[in-house]
Amino acid sequence: MDVRLVEKALLGLFVAAVVATVVSKLRGKKLKLPPGPIPVPIFGNWLQVGDDLNHRNLTAFAKRFGEIFLLRMGQRNLVVVSSPDLAKEVLHTQGVEFGSRTRNVVFDIFTGKGQDMVFTVYGEHWRKMRRIMTVPFFTNKVVSQYRYGWEEEAMRVVEDVKADPMAASEGIVLRRRLQLMMYNNMYRIMFDRRFERMDDPLFERLKVLNGERSRLAQSFEYNYGDFIPILRPFLRGYLRICKEVKDRRLKLFKDYFVEERKKLASTKSVDNAGLKCAIDHILDAEKKGEINEDNVLYIVENINVAAIETTLWSIEWGIAELVNHPDIQQKLRNELDTVLGPGIQITEPDTQKLPYLQAVIKETLRLRMAIPLLVPHMNLHDAKLAGYDIPAESRILVNAWWLANNPAHWKNPEEFRPERFLQEEAKVEANGNDFRYVPFGVGRRSCPGIVLALPILGITIGRLVQNFELLPPPGQAKIDTSEKGGQFSLHILKHSTIVAKPRVF
C-alpha cells in the first residue's frame, strides 16, 4: 500500500475523531468529573502519563490531585482512589455499582472476553462461576483436605535444598524449587496430579506457556493500542502472538489434564477412590449444563495465573525480606523453636499459634503487595463517587499499595517491621477488616484465594526458617529487592541467589 495513502488515511481518521470529540463535548451534559491533568483530544492524558500505570506513578498523581483523580487515557476513563474511605465506597458500600470488571484488548484474548470468573462482568455468569469454584477451591474444608499435601511439598523442598551442595556455600535460586512446589500444591487440588522433578517435560511446557502469558498480559507495551483505537492496527502482531499463546495453553490444559480426568471418571476410578478433586466438581457442573467446555478451561486458566504465581511472588518477597533482616529472621526462628520445639516441623494448624509468623506474613503483604492496584473494577452505568460523576464503563483502580504505605496512616511504612502487627496495628487482618490494608480486596470481588494463600505462606516460610539460616550470597550484604511491576502485579525484579545453611538440631 502507498505510504502517502496510509498517512492521508490516518490524518483523516484523526481529524474526524477530533471533530467528533468536539461535537460530543458541545452536545453532552456537563459532568462534575474528578480532578486530574488536562486531557487533549483523542489522546487524553496518554501523552503526559505514558503507558506505565504502576502503583508508584499513580501514587505521585494522588499527591498532586488528591485521593480521587481521573486520567483520560485515549477513549478510557481511569479513576484512581487512594484513601480508605473511598476504597470502602468502591469495594463495599457501592460494591454492586462498581462490581464489574474492565478488560483490555489482551485480556479479552486470554479470558475469551470474560468467560472466566476473575474478569467477567458482575452479574449472573459471575455468580455462577464463583459458586462453582468456591466448593472445590476456596473453603476451610479444602484447607483441611489438602494441607497434608502442602506440608509434604514443603518437606520435599527442604530435603532437595539440603541435598544440593551449592545451597550452603555459593547459594541457589530458591524460587525455582518453590515454583515446582506451588504448581504441585495447586495441581493436587485441581487434578490430583503432581510433578516429580523440575525437569519434567510437561512441567517445563506449563511453565513456559504460563510465563509467556504472564509477560504478554502484564506488559505495559500494548496500552497505547488499547487506549487509542486508531492506533490499534499497530498491535496486530502483538495480539496474534497473544492468541497463539492462549490457544496453546488451553489445548495443553484440555489434552493433558481435563480430558485425562474425564477418562478416569468414566472408569469410575474417581468414585472408587472416594475423593473428588476440583476438576471433577467443575466437570459435574458442565454435565448439568451450568457451564460450557470453554468455561471449564478458563477456570483452569484463572487458577494457573491467580493462585500459583501470586502466592509464589509473596513467598519470594517474604524470604527476600528475611534474608535482608537477619534479626527478624532470628526472632521468627526463636518463636518456632520455642512454641513447637527445635526440629518439630510446622503444620497448618500451628500457624494460628505463631503470632510473629503471622506478623511477618502480614508485613510482607503490606510492603510488597502482589497485586498493588487490585484487579480493576468498573461501573456498568453512570455513578457517583465522593460527589463526582463517574461515567459508565470507567476503570476504577484502588491503589491498595498506597493505602498500606501512606505515612499519614502508618508509622514508618517504608520499614519492614512485623512488630507493627503486634503493637499499634494488632487488630488489622489481611481479610480487609481495615480499609487501610486490603491485600486481597474486600467484598463481592475480593480474592477468594486468601483461604489458600495464607496457610501456604505460613507453612512454606515457617519450614524454611526452621531448617535453614537464609543468607545473601558470599560477598553481598543484602540481596536486591528492586521491584518489577506490571498491569496488576508487583514481583521482585531479579530472582535472587540465596545461601541456605542447614541447621543442626
The model's pLDDT over 28-84, given as tens digits with 9 standing for 90+, comes to 468 999 999 999 999 999 998 888 899 999 999 999 999 999 999 999 999 999 999
Residue 270 pLDDT more than 80?
A: no
Where are the alpha helices (H) located in 194-309, listed in sequence order? 201-218, 223-227, 236-253, 259-266, 269-273, 278-287, 293-302
Return the bridge partners of 70, or none: 79
276 vs 301, residue with greater confidence: 301
- Measuring CA to CA, which residue among 397, 392, 382, 368 is closest to residue 485? 368
Range in 22-36, 133-147, 351-365 with the lowest mean pLDDT: 22-36
| Residue 277, annotated as binding a ligand | no
Return the bridge partners of 437, or none: 434
Are 54 and 63 within 8 A, CB to CB? no
| Per-domain residue ranges of the chain | 1-30, 31-502
- Tell me how crowded residue 220 is: count the other CB atoms within 10 A of its CB: 14
Q: In the prediction, which pLDDT does 501 show?
A: 98
The mean pLDDT value of the chain amounts to 92
pTM, 2 dp: 0.92
Q: In the prediction, which pLDDT does 274 show?
A: 53
- Measuring CA to CA, which residue among 443, 359, 361, 428 is closest to residue 398? 443
CA distance 236 to 400: 33
3-state secondary structure of 203: helix
What would the pLDDT profile of 165-223 be if each residue is shown by its tens digit? 999 999 999 999 999 999 999 999 999 999 999 999 999 999 999 999 999 999 999 99
Tell me which CATH homologous superfamily contains domain 31-502: Cytochrome P450 (1.10.630.10)
Q: Which helix (H) or strand (E) holds 396?
A: strand 395-398
Tell me the mean pLDDT in the region 300-324.
94
Considering Cα of 212, then 215, then 218, then 224, what sign does the dihedral take? negative
Which pLDDT band, with edges at 50, 70 and 90, does 90 fall under?
very high
Q: In the prediction, which pLDDT does 267 show?
A: 76
**Which residues make Cβ contacts (< 8 Å) with residue 364, sequence separation at least 6?**
314, 317, 318, 321, 457
Are 77 and 70 within 8 A, CB to CB? yes
* Residue carrying C-alpha cell 504505605: 405
Tell me the mean pLDDT in the region 419-446.
96
Residue 87 pLDDT more than 80?
A: yes
Range in 237-251, 256-270, 352-366, 372-386 with the lowest mean pLDDT: 256-270
